[in-house]
Structure 1
Amino acid sequence: MSDATPPSTPAAPPAPQQPKRNHTNTIIISTAAVLIAGIVTAGIVVSNSRNDDPTPTVVKAASTPSASSTKASPSPSPSQETLKLGDKVDIDAGGNKFSAAALTHKDKGLRSPTGLFQDGQKLALVEVKVCNEGEEPITVAPFTWSLAYEDGSRLEPFHMTGSELPPPVYPMDAKVKGGDCVRGNVLFEVPKGFGRAERVLYSPGDLDEPVEWQIGK
Structure 2
Amino acid sequence: MTAPPAAEAVKAQDGPLNLGAKVGVDDDTTPGLLASVQALSYTQPVKNIEAPTDSQGGDIWAAADVKVCNAGTADFSVSQFPWHLTYADGTNIEVTGSSGGDMPKPEFPMDRTVNPGNCARGKIAYPVPSSKRPEHLVYEPEGTEPIEWAIPKA
TM-score, normalization: structure 1?
A: 0.61
Correspondence for 1:78: 11
Correspondence for 1:166: 104
Aligned-residue offset at 1:120: 6.7
- Paired residue total: 147
Uncovered stretches (5+) of structure 1, i.e. residues with no partner: 1-54, 60-71
CA distance in 2 between partners of 1:178 and 1:213 (Å): 25
Correspondence for 1:57: 3
CA distance in 2 between partners of 1:176 and 1:98 (Å): 10
User: Structure 1 stretches (4+) deviating beyond 4 angstroms?
Assistant: none
Higher normalized contact order (CA 8 Å, seq sep 6+, divided by chain length): 2
TM-score, normalization: structure 2?
A: 0.84
Contact 1:111-1:165 at 8 Å conserved across structures: no
| Partner amino acid, structure 2, of 1:102 | A
**For the structure 1 residues 186 and 102, does the alpha-carbon distance in structure 2 shift closer, same or farther, using more than 3 Å as the test?**
same
Aligned-residue offset at 1:191: 3.6
**For the structure 1 residues 120 and 93, does the alpha-carbon distance in structure 2 shift closer, same or farther, using more than 3 Å as the test?**
closer
The CA RMSD over aligned residues, in Å, is 2.4
**For the structure 1 residues 120 and 86, does the alpha-carbon distance in structure 2 shift closer, same or farther, using more than 3 Å as the test?**
closer
Correspondence for 1:112: 49
Contact 1:58-1:89 at 8 Å conserved across structures: no
CA distance in 2 between partners of 1:103 and 1:89 (Å): 12
Correspondence for 2:80: 142
Aligned-residue offset at 1:165: 1.8
Residues 78-130 of structure 1 deviation map (CA, whole Å, 9 limit, x = unaligned): 2332310001001122432100000000112423336x424970101100000
CA distance in 2 between partners of 1:136 and 1:152 (Å): 36
| Partner amino acid, structure 1, of 2:114 | V
Percentage of identical aligned residues: 34
Contact 1:86-1:101 at 8 Å conserved across structures: yes
3-state SS of 1:142 partner? coil
Uncovered stretches (5+) of structure 2, i.e. residues with no partner: none
Correspondence for 2:27: 93
Contact 2:3-2:26 at 8 Å conserved across structures: yes
